[in-house]
Structure 1
Amino acid sequence: MNVLSNEHAFLAVPEPEFCQYEKARFVIQQVPYEHTSSYLEGSSKGPEAMVAASHFVEFYDEELDLETYKQCGIATLAPMDFTGKFDKAAVDHIQSETSRHVRNGKYVVSLGAEHTVTLGFVKAYLEQYPDLAVLQIDAHSDLRAAYHDNPYSHASVMARIHDLNVPLVQIGIRAQCKEEADLIKASANIHTFYAHTIRSQADWMDKAIAALPKNVYLTIDADGFDPAVIPAVGTAEPNGLFWVETLQFLRRVFRERNVVGFDVVECAPIEGSILSEYTLAKLVYRLIGYQVTR
């Protein structure tokens, strides 16, 4: 197991003891798998960019009044190697690696490239939490049976999770095909909160949380945010979520449900800009803080 030294790890904290795998409660897993990007490419660079940007995130969290890392320890793993692994083989590799850390009692935070990687994470967590639901923040519903004839496309990841009989709660959806809309209408296991509806529903957070069972896996596609917040994504869509409302919602989710793990995916860095990866690194640290203080 290749664990990064503290100066190269998430946050680059000065004390090596807070980055050791054996002592850390949290593990940052870098998963740069990109094989089916359908618009702009570059998400394979996202995990490393988020880790690098985290070196400029303040250790002290003003919202939580806490230097979070000192309460839990955060170990960072070297990027996974996907040489020769695509589609099912890649998903199986991700599941195996994630399962190992979950069995070791670690809270796994995964930084992914394309959204396909989430299938591996969810399958790993299902081994321990068979009653798991997935909370998805995303611009796209990702429910196509296949895309470009590939059932392991990033545009089909939630369809594969739905095949596992896992309930889905989707937040911020604003781009889909009719096939996906029809599946949402037909399935009792999919609860979709469209971006255009939450703007007019004061109680959308209450309804979304009520649709979640006790154990939840959280997946955040960077394009769930409005492009004004996170511009560096493969397929940007207008009318996305903003920072304050997203954090208000997620803090409630962490308090009211058992979020067993989470990922952040689909950041495709823009040369000359650090806004997206820095904001996402800060999001990751904030969510770790929500879990520590729940």
Structure 2
Amino acid sequence: MVDLANYDPNCVSNPNNNIFGLPTSEDDARLVILPIPWEVTVSYGAGTARAPEAIFKAALQVDLFDSEVPEGWKHGYYMRPIDRKLLMKSDYLRKEAELYIDYISRGEDVSANQFMSKTFREVNEGGEFLTQWVYEQTKVLLNNGKLVGVLGGDHSVPLGYFKAIADKYADFGILQIDAHCDLRVAYEGFNYSHASIMYNALTQIPQLSKLVQVGVRDYGGDEWEYLKNNSDRINTYFDRDIKYRQYEGETWKQIVDEIVSKLPQNVYISFDIDGLDRKLCPHTGTPVPGGFETEEVFYLFRKVMESGRKVIGFDLCEVGVSDTDWNANVGARVLFKLCNTLIASNSDKSLTV
């Protein structure tokens, strides 16, 4: 067993070690990160399937000292190896989905084309396969007493983890940081679209009692109607409304206190990186003007913890990959904060913020 108590956090990160340069094995780690290299249904920019690998590399440059959770890393963080077969399956189905999306965008009838009908079926079967795969992987980790974080990939990937969480918690809420509602019904015909993740969660997981969305600034009329018709289960804080309230004199603290009050005791954090200002994530799959600074979101996480609520899991999705390492650099730091938040929320008081 690795003794992290004697590990020097100020030394140069060893690239032969695991995430954040830690010499941790899965057995030793309190928190296990499951990378999911999947982006089959992305409808704009691609590249998120290779984000886990890029973030792993960038994470070697993350300083292990977090003044709010200074020794969280001592519990051990470990990221599993990337499943290359899963990545290959994603690459293949992504090409299939691109052909299908192009076909339907021109108003063509899918039912009249056997090839497109087969493509449509294969993409949906791929989404079903992934959801079950993620469920099985995370279920075993939770049963083994691990804390779990999911690293995408596009935002369709955590549905299986939501279902595993639901097996453990009879009631929980999702705090969603996102530029989008993700409440579309089988967007583009794909049942497991990244744009349908929260609709799928709400309709398939009764244990999910509350969805609180923060930073939304791009949504359709169908999603607006869904929000109005399900206001008992969904609270959406639109980016525009947050800014208007601040322009009128409200503080971010006042707004955050209200956001936190809507959450149940058990809170899962679903972080789509496009919830941030685009300057921080320029190559995310579907960028939208507006958004948060990282510290604004981290302050929200802090207030969730200070309220006495328990963070039970997280995912980080939609980090783009580019010729520079900026996106992965920001993604690695967001990942580290999420890890520290999850650890602090499930550890002794000396580690809490």
TM-score in terms of structure 1 length: 0.92
Partner residue of 2:113? none
Matching residue within 303, 311, 316 for 1:252: 303
What residue is the counterpart of 2:224 in the other structure? 181
Please say which of residues 249-258 and 81-90 is displaced more in the overlay: 81-90
Please tell me the residue identity of whatever aligns with 2:39.
Answer: E
Q: RMSD value over aligned CA atoms? A: 1.7
Which residue of 253, 259, 274 maps to 1:208?
Answer: 259
Which 5+ residue runs of structure 1 have no aligned equivalent?
A: none
Q: Which residue of 1 aligns with 2:106?
A: none
Q: Equivalent residue of 1:86, what SS? A: helix
Task: Output the CA distance in 2 between the equivalents of 1:73 and 1:108.
Answer: 12
1:111 aligned residue: 151
Q: Could you list the structure 1 runs, at least 4 aligned residues long, displaced by more than 3 angstroms after superposition.
A: none
Structure richer in helix, relative to its length: 2
Residue 236 (structure 1) aligns with: 287
TM-score (norm 2): 0.77
Match of residue 223, structure 1, among 254, 262, 274: 274
Per-residue deviation, residues 89-116 of structure 1 (Å, max 9, x unmatched): 1101011101110111111111110101
Which secondary structure does the structure 2 equivalent of 1:143 belong to?
coil
Aligned residues, how many?
Answer: 283
Moved more, 220-229 or 195-204: 195-204
Percent of matched pairs sharing the same residue: 31
Equivalence for 1:266: 318
Of 167, 170, 187, the residue aligned with 1:147 is 187
1:66 to 65, 70, 94: 70
* CA distance in 1: counterparts of 2:54 and 2:306, whole angstroms: 29
Pair member with larger Rg: 2
Matched, 1:101 2:141: yes
Match of 2:82 in 1: 79
| CA distance in 2 between partners of 1:178 and 1:73 (Å) | 45
Instruction: State the alpha-carbon separation in 2 of the partners of residues 289 and 89 from structure 1.
Output: 31
| Aligned-partner SS, 1:98 | helix
Distance in 2 separating the partners of 1:197 and 1:270: 32
AA paired with 1:192?
Answer: T
The answer as to 2:19 corresponding to 1:10 is yes
Matched position secondary structure for 1:127 = helix
For the Cα contact (< 8 Å) 2:257–2:303, is it kept in 1? no
How far, CA to CA, are the matches of 1:120 and 1:205 in structure 2? 29
User: In the TM superposition, what is the alpha-carbon distance from 1:40 to its structure 2 partner?
Assistant: 0.6
Supply the AA of the counterpart residue of 1:103: N
Partner of 2:237: 193
* Offset at residue 6 of structure 1 (A): 7.3
| Kept in 1: contact 2:15–2:60 (CA 8 A) | no
Amino acid at match of 2:328: E
CA distance in 2, matches of 1:38, 1:151: 14
> Shift of the alpha carbon at 1:277?
1.1
| TM-fit CA distance, 1:77 | 0.5
Aligned partner of 2:211 in structure 1 is 168
Partner of 1:172: helix, strand, or coil?
strand
- 5+ residue gaps, structure 2: 1-13, 90-124, 345-350
Counterpart CA distance in 2 for 1:125 and 1:147 is 25
- The one-letter amino acid paired with 1:212 is L
What's the CA shift string for 1:252-285, capped at 9, x where partnerless? 11332111011100111111x2122111211221
* In structure 2, C-alpha distance between the alignment counterparts of 1:6 and 1:105, rounded to whole Å: 28
CA 65–176 in structure 1, closer or farther in 2 if over 3 Å, else same: closer
Distance in 2, matches of 1:195 and 1:248, equals 16
Deviation at 1:73, TM superposition (A): 0.8
What amino acid does structure 2 have at the position aligned with 1:110? V
Query: Aligned partners of 1:192 and 1:240: how far apart in 2?
Result: 14
Q: CA deviation at 1:65?
A: 6.7
Matching of residue 51 in structure 1 with residue 56 in structure 2: yes
| Deviation of 1:205 (Å) | 0.7
Letter in 1 for 2:21: A
Give the direction of change, closer, same or farther, for the CA distance of 1:247–1:65 in structure 2 (3 Å limit): closer
